[in-house]
Structure formats: structure tokens, C-alpha cells
């Protein structure tokens, strides 16, 4: 790894400080970043907009879905620029196979909703990790940086919408007769249904501008967080400091190594034997770019064994005047380790003492536990059950999303709840089945029997039933008689409305003044019932 070429001041940073560094990186390499962005983004956005000219929102959604594609080009530029090798646009486009080949399809279909997308992208694209190792790697990196990565995503999403709405508002300022009341807010339909009407080509254009402005910052911020996490985990800053120190003192250390050569000639394997048997090889620079992944960013575990062999430069080569920086580093490292061993063997670190504490008899260590023979079957069954439940839950969520999308694209399906009129209203049964076939005739019969209130009640029920079941009027539980009349004004003509007003006034007088109307008045209401409910409807 050519850390000494890095263009950043490496040190452990707080999360937001790292994000800030990323934004500075985006500004520093703005020209190559936006050049590659527009080269990749504009054709895709243009084609999708033309393909979905009638439904610009779908174009915008597809452009959003393809964000991992453009992000990869941005990350490619940044990952090389930080090591002082900013690629040209031609080089970047030429590396498309390498850029897009590293699990792009998987990213698009399985990880397109990733709250830490820009932070996790280097794991796939630069380290070339796949499957379980990639998950473990993301988990490890995300332990102390995941919250900042998620925060970065949320902030950038908000800024996209701020830019978009800002442009929308700006354009509205230039319109003379604009209706300032938001249609989305006023519309009684669900927001996702009215959104389709509101979202047009201009909104799609504003969205494209917004993501073009924000996305390079987003990718750079995530990449800086990633670098910062590697600095924390692998002490890149210390490694770099040692390398620079070694380079500065290479002349003096050549002499030191001459001495080391002499020692090694007498005891050639003694120095290697001092190293602990589990010592890991230090990753060294490997400029070759074997796909997938970028060796600049690969972890020790991912570097092939032959790469590490390069670290074992012979002392002979040093003596012949080769560039010995890496070898010096290795030797210094050995000296440091020796010193560390010496310090650790001192009494302050090396003393032993006996500690006694209480321990439960049955609380054996995990390793000592005997496996229960039935456990696999029991846990396996539970796991299977949970798996089925999880699949069912996922299926339900997918169905719900598809249903919502279908409602959005194909128009609202009639809601069974909304379309079902109530059977009772104002404490009165108003479903058609509860009413006689000929309401006026039945009312007259009640009137003849001296039941004036019941006759009036029947007419009132019939009128309400007609309004609710036949004309689809929706009456809330808090609606009064006056509210019914006001609601009916929008669906009734003058004559039926006048009849309804007379009926409601008569009913109110009966109900609230405890004054029974004259027989003639009820009879007239029976005769005029057809004004509100035509005979063919009531039959």
C-alpha cells in the first residue's frame, strides 16, 4: 500500500469531522467528479425521461434506483485521487468493466435500500468482498461509524428535497397567477395518489438537478468515513508516520542494516525466529489492479500470499543500494517488537497474581458445555417456524407495496370500507331492507292508524336511506339535521331539496318541539315523496 502517497492528513477523526473531510474532498476534486457524473448520469437520465415521458415520476424513481451505478464511478475517481493518481475521464470510462462488474446487479436488486450506501460501497467495490465476509466486514466497519453513515444519508436526502423544493418555489415566484395553496395538502385523497398529479416533468428535472448537486458530496462523505474507520482499525496514520520516519532516516539506517547484515550472516534465521509465530504480514503496496477490488484498499486477509512475499526483500539487495524503505520499515518493526517484548517482560506487566472469586457450580464455560442431543431438533424446528413467519411477513410487505404501487399507477381501487354505507343513522335503521317497498303508502297507513310520529319517522328514514344508499352521501356521526340539508345541497336539485327541507323542518318540530304536525301536512309530504325518491327507485 502506497500510504505515503496519500493526499490526506491521516488521523483518527470524529464521524462528522470525517464527513466534513469528505465534502472537502468533493470540492478539491470537483472537476473530475462532476465530469464523470454528468458523463454517466445524463445519458441514463435522458433515456429514462424519454422512455417515460408521460409518466415522469417513474423516470425519476428509476433514476433514483440506479444511484449505485453512478456512485461507483464517483468512488472510482475518489479512490484514486486520494492516492495522488486522479484518473482522467477516459481512464475512468475505460475502467467501466471493473467498476460495474463488482456485484452491481446484486447492489441494485438486494441492497438498493441501504441506509449506509456510500459508506458500504468501498467494501464491495474497492475491497472486492462478497457474501458472508462482506457482511462481516460491513458489520465491523459499521460498529462505530454506522450511525454517522446513516446520518449522512438522511441529511443528503433532506438536502436533495430542499434543493428540489427550492427550485420549485423559485419557479413559482416567476409565475404570475400561481395558486399558492398546495394541491397535495388540500386533496382529500391519499398523498401518494395526488403526488402523481403534482409530479411533472419540471419536478423530475428539479430532482435530477438536486441529485447531481448532492450525490458527489454524499459519496465523498461516505468514502471519507470509510477511510477514517480504516485509520482507526488499522492505524494507517501510525504506519504512515513510521514510513516517513524510516524514509527520512534511510541513510543512517543503512549503516544500522549493515550491522544487521553481519549479524544475520552469522545467525541467519535468528531474527525471524524472534517474531511470534502468529505474526501477520504487513500489507505492502501493490500497484496492480487485479479485479475484483482494489489492492490499495484490500485488508490483510484479502491480499494473496504471494503479495506478502514481496516484503521479504533480501538484505543482500539492501546492501547493493536498492530502495530499502520497506525493508527498513520491516526491520524497525522488528526492533519495536523486541522493545515491546522487553517492556512487557518487566515486573509492571509481567507479574502474576492469584485471584479468588465465587463461581456458580453449573455455570460452566460455553466451551465446556455438553451439547444437548435434542437441542438441534428443537432449535431447528423453532428456526424453521421463525423462517416461515419471516417469509410470510416479507411476502405481506411485498404484497402491500405492490398494492400501493398499483393504486398509485393504475388509479385508486374502490375501498370496501369507504363504499359501504351505514345501516344505521341518527339511531334510525336506514338500510333499504328495513324499509317497506312503498314508503309513502306505508306512511299513509300509519297515518290512517293515528300514528303521526311513526309515519313521519318512516318518511324521514326513507329520505335518509335514499341519500346515503342511492345517492352515496356520506353523513358523519356528528352531523345534525342542518348538516344533512347542507350536504344534500350539492347533490340534489331544487325540488327534491325543497322537499327535503320541508321534511326535515317538520321532523325537527316533531322531535325538538314535541309538537305533532297536522295530518294534512304529513299527507302532503307523503304525496311529494316522489320528488326526492322517484317511484322506480323506491320500488
Q: 19 near 217, Cβ under 8 Å?
A: no
Rounded CA-CA distance 199/23 in Å is 31
Q: Quick check: 451 binds another protein (CB under 8 A)? A: no
CB of residue 426 vs another protein: minimum separation in angstroms? Answer: 5
User: How many Cβ atoms from other residues are within 10 Å of residue 487's Cβ?
Assistant: 16
**Where does this chain touch another protein (CB under 8 A) — which range of 227-235, 284-292, 349-357, 426-434?**
426-434
Q: Quick check: 427 binds another protein (CB under 8 A)? A: yes
**Where does this chain touch another protein (CB under 8 A) — which range of 25-33, 376-384, 396-404, 477-485?**
477-485
Q: Quick check: 508 binds another protein (CB under 8 A)? A: yes
Q: Taking Cα atoms as reference points, which of 71, 77, 104, 79 lies closest to residue 92?
A: 77
Q: Quick check: 476 binds another protein (CB under 8 A)? A: yes
76 Cβ partners below 8 Å, 6+ apart? Answer: 36, 87, 92, 95, 99, 125
CB of residue 460 vs another protein: minimum separation in angstroms? Answer: 10
Which residue number, 476 or 493, has a Cβ lying nearer to another protein? 476
Which residue number, 146 or 462, has a Cβ lying nearer to another protein? 462
Tell me which DSSP letter residue 516 carries.
Answer: P
Q: Quick check: 480 binds another protein (CB under 8 A)? A: yes
Phi, psi of 205 (to 5 degrees): -60, -45
Q: Quick check: 509 binds another protein (CB under 8 A)? A: yes
Window 318-337: residues binding another protein (CB under 8 A): none
Number of residues that bind another protein (CB under 8 A): 18
**Sign of the Cα pseudo-torsion (396, 397, 401, 402, in order):** negative
What does the block give as the cell for 90? 477516459
Q: Quick check: 477 binds another protein (CB under 8 A)? A: yes
Which residue number, 74 or 463, has a Cβ lying nearer to another protein? 463
Q: Quick check: 235 binds another protein (CB under 8 A)? A: no
Phi, psi of 66 (to 5 degrees): -85, 10
525 Cβ partners below 8 Å, 6+ apart? Answer: 443, 456, 459, 499, 502, 503, 506
Q: Quick check: 307 binds another protein (CB under 8 A)? A: no
Rounded CA-CA distance 421/86 in Å is 68
What's the farthest any 2 CA atoms get from each other in the chain? 133
Rounded CA-CA distance 260/332 in Å is 11
Answer for which of 321, 350, 478, 493 binds another protein (CB under 8 A) is 478
What does the block give as the cell for 6? 496519500
CB of residue 469 vs another protein: minimum separation in angstroms? Answer: 19
434 Cβ partners below 8 Å, 6+ apart? Answer: 423, 461
CB of residue 473 vs another protein: minimum separation in angstroms? Answer: 16
Q: Quick check: 173 binds another protein (CB under 8 A)? A: no
Answer for which of 197, 274, 309, 483 binds another protein (CB under 8 A) is 483
Interface mask toward another protein for 510-539; x: CB under 8 A: -xxxxx------------------------
Q: Quick check: 426 binds another protein (CB under 8 A)? A: yes
Q: Quick check: 177 binds another protein (CB under 8 A)? A: no
Rounded CA-CA distance 125/284 in Å is 20
CB of residue 508 vs another protein: minimum separation in angstroms? Answer: 5
Phi, psi of 302 (to 5 degrees): -95, -5
Q: Quick check: 388 binds another protein (CB under 8 A)? A: no
In the complex, the residues that contact another protein under the rule CB under 8 A are 426-428, 476-483, 508-509, 511-515
Amino acid at each position: 500500500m502506497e500510504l505515503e502517497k496519500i493526499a490526506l492528513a491521516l488521523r483518527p477523526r470524529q464521524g462528522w469531522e470525517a464527513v466534513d473531510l469528505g465534502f472537502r474532498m468533493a470540492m478539491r476534486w470537483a472537476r473530475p467528479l462532476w465530469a464523470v457524473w454528468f458523463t454517466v448520469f445524463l445519458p441514463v437520465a435522458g433515456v429514462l425521461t424519454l422512455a417515460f415521458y408521460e409518466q415522469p415520476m417513474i423516470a425519476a424513481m428509476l433514476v433514483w434506483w440506479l444511484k449505485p451505478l453512478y456512485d461507483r464511478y464517483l468512488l472510482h475517481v475518489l479512490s484514486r485521487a486520494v492516492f495522488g493518481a486522479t484518473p482522467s475521464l477516459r481512464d475512468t470510462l475505460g475502467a467501466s468493466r471493473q467498476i460495474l462488474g463488482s456485484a452491481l446487479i446484486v447492489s441494485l436488486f438486494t441492497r438498493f435500500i441501504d441506509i449506509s450506501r456510500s459508506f458500504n460501497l468501498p467494501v464491495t467495490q474497492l475491497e472486492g468482498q462478497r457474501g458472508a465476509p462482506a457482511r462481516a466486514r460491513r458489520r465491523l466497519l459499521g460498529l462505530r461509524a454506522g450511525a454517522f453513515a446513516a446520518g449522512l444519508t438522511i441529511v443528503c436526502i433532506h438536502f436533495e428535497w430542499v434543493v428540489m423544493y427550492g427550485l420549485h418555489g423559485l419557479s413559482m415566484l416567476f409565475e404570475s397567477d400561481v395558486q399558492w395553496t398546495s394541491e397535495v395538502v388540500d386533496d382529500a385523497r391519499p398523498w401518494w395518489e395526488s403526488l402523481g398529479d403534482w409530479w411533472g416533468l419540471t419536478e423530475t428535472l428539479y430532482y435530477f438537478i438536486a441529485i447531481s448537486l448532492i450525490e458527489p458530496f454524499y459519496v465523498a462523505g461516505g468514502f471519507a468515513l470509510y477511510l477514517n474507520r480504516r485509520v482507526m482499525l488499522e492505524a494507517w496514520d501510525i504506519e504512515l508516520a513510521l514510513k516517513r520516519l524510516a524514509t527520512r532516516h534511510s541513510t543512517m539506517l543503512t549503516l544500522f542494516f549493515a550491522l544487521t547484515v553481519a549479524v544475520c550472516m552469522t545467525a541467519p534465521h535468528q531474527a525471524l525466529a524472534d517474531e511470534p509465530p502468529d505474526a501477520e504480514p504487513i500489507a505492502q503496496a501493490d500497484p496492480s489492479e487485479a479485479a475484483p477490488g482494489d489492492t490499495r484498499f484490500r485488508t490483510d486477509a484479502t491480499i494473496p500470499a504471494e503479495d506478502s512475499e514481496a516484503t521479504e526483500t533480501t538484505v543482500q539487495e539492501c546492501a547493493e543500494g536498492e530502495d530499502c524503505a520497506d525493508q527498513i520499515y520491516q526491520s524497525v518493526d522488528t526492533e519495536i517488537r523486541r522493545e515491546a517484548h522487553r517492556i512487557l517482560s518487566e515486573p509492571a506487566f509481567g507479574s502474576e497474581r492469584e485471584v479468588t472469586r465465587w463461581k456458580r457450580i453449573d455455570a460452566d464455560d460455553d466451551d465446556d458445555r455438553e451439547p444437548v442431543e435434542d437441542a438441534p431438533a428443537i432449535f431447528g424446528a423453532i428456526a424453521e417456524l421463525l423462517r416461515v413467519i419471516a417469509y410470510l411477513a416479507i411476502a405481506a410487505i411485498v404484497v402491500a407495496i405492490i398494492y400501493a404501487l398499483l393504486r398509485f399507477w393504475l388509479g385508486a381501487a374502490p375501498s370496501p370500507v369507504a363504499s359501504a354505507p351505514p345501516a344505521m343513522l341518527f339511531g334510525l335503521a336506514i338500510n333499504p331492507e328495513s324499509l317497506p317497498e312503498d314508503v309513502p303508502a306505508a306512511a299513509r297507513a300509519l297515518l290512517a292508524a293515528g300514528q303521526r310520529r311513526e309515519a313521519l319517522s318512516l318518511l324521514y328514514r326513507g329520505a335518509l336511506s335514499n341519500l346515503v344508499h342511492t345517492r352515496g352521501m356520506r353523513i358523519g356521526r356528528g352531523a345534525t339535521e342542518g348538516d344533512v340539508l347542507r350536504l344534500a345541497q350539492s347533490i340534489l336539485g331544487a325540488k327534491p331539496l325543497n322537499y327535503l327541507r320541508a321534511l326535515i323542518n317538520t321532523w325537527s318540530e316533531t322531535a325538538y318541539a314535541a309538537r305533532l304536525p297536522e295530518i294534512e301536512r304529513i299527507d302532503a309530504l307523503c304525496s311529494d315523496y316522489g320528488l326526492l325518491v322517484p317511484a322506480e327507485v323506491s320500488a
